Amino acid sequence: MRRLAIPTAALLALGIGGPPLASAERESTCVTCHADEDDEELSAPVAEWRKSVHAEHEVSCDGCHGGDPRKSDADSSMSEKAGFLEVPSWKDMATHCGVCHESLANAYLEGELGRALRDEGRPATCVDCHMPDGHRIRQAGPRALEYDERCPHCLPLADGDGAERALRANREAVREVFRQIESAERKGMEVGDLTAELADLYRAHGEALHRFEPGGIEQTGELLRPSLSALSLRATMLEEEAGRRRRYGIFVLLPVGTLALGLFFLPRRPKSEEN
């Protein structure tokens, strides 16, 4: 089935689908070797990873740790030559994750937590919010705001419940526009511009969230909604245009079809009369 042309990062953020897990496992000896280990410390990361958003989108061990997932022996697959990376320190975590998630990492480093990091504090990093369950990497979402229960290093929010409600509202607004665009595409309309603009909007939304500025979630939502409304209106207009084209097609084809049927059933003169 053809998928909308929204970049992978935005799809991950929206939680929309993903390729099958099996191919990521087939291509990675990291997974197959670690899964067979008797030592739970070595096998547990595979079980955790299989339930992660990375596994859902075929990001395997080498995506974060480097190395060569095609080599069957540890010395070759985890060698310096193969580009194997040790687990980064918490101070380097944003830079490490930023290899793939560059704009979000830059926003984090520019924001409140990044400043605390440079001031030798111990703020939350990517793993605190997205990897509280080990290698079961969580998709971005409102659960990242559960500061009191899970993240003692996070800066306090003045209104944690309000921020969570705002984030849920922002995400649902984006999902609703995505559904409208998807509907227009199914009806045969070209939606490339809309999907690109939606991805840019959601990327900007994610960057604002990762700065962790006071009130940032609510303020971002206020900025997001007018742009989403404009996209929603354009998607609605595309759907209406698809409806007009369908009705016009029926209007044109109906008399043509009627004429064709009439000609088909028109009584024919016997051949003897024709001669």
CA distances from 80 to 74, 83, 189 (A): 12, 5, 50
Decide: helix, strand or coil at residue 254: helix
Under a CB-based contact definition with an 8 Å cutoff, are residues 198 and 231 in contact?
Answer: yes
Under a CB-based contact definition with an 8 Å cutoff, are residues 38 and 49 in contact?
Answer: no
Q: Mind spelling out the 3-state secondary structure of 2-59?
A: CCCCCCHHHHHHHCCCCCCHHHHHHCCHHHHHHHCCCCHHHHHHHHHHCCCHHHHCCC
Residue-level pLDDT at 20: 44
The larger pLDDT score, comparing residue 144 to residue 73, is at 73
Predicted confidence (pLDDT) at residue 147 exceeds the cutoff of 50 = no
Residue pLDDT, tens place only, 220-253: 778 788 888 999 999 999 888 887 877 766 655 5
Residue pLDDT, tens place only, 76-117: 888 888 888 888 888 899 999 999 999 999 999 998 888 888
